Amino acid sequence: MARTNSELSEMDLAALVEELRATKQEALNLRFRNATGQLDNTAEIGKVRRHIARLNTHIRAKEIALAEGSN
């Protein structure tokens, strides 16, 4: 999961979307584990949320770059 910003910026749009899907699934699993008391390190939830936000930022930047390139 924990990719750096430089690694994310090198990925193409499809790979970023797939990474986002997998990370959202991981966040869901963490929330369930937290609700059932099985999660020891609750800081993982915040890390995953920040990673999702970072992915969304990179996806949006790629979408804007593609839109500007087609004009």
pLDDT higher than 90, residue 70: no
Read off the pLDDT of residues 22-55 as tens digits, 9 standing for 90 and up. 999 999 999 999 999 999 999 999 999 999 999 9
The domain total for the chain is: 1
- Whether residue 2 is predicted with pLDDT greater than 70 in this model: the reply is no
CATH of the domain at 44: 1.10.287
Q: pLDDT digit string (tens) for 3-22? A: 788 888 899 999 999 999 99
Distance of CA 28 to the CA centre of its chain: 13
Number of H helices, E strands in the chain: 3, 0
Tracing tokens 């500007």 back to the chain, one arrives at 68
**Exposure on the CB side of residue 8, measured as CA atoms within 13 A:** 22
Q: Range of 65's domain?
A: 5-70
Give dist(CA 30, CA 51) in Å, integer: 14
Model's pTM, two decimal places?
A: 0.89
Give the length of the chain: 71
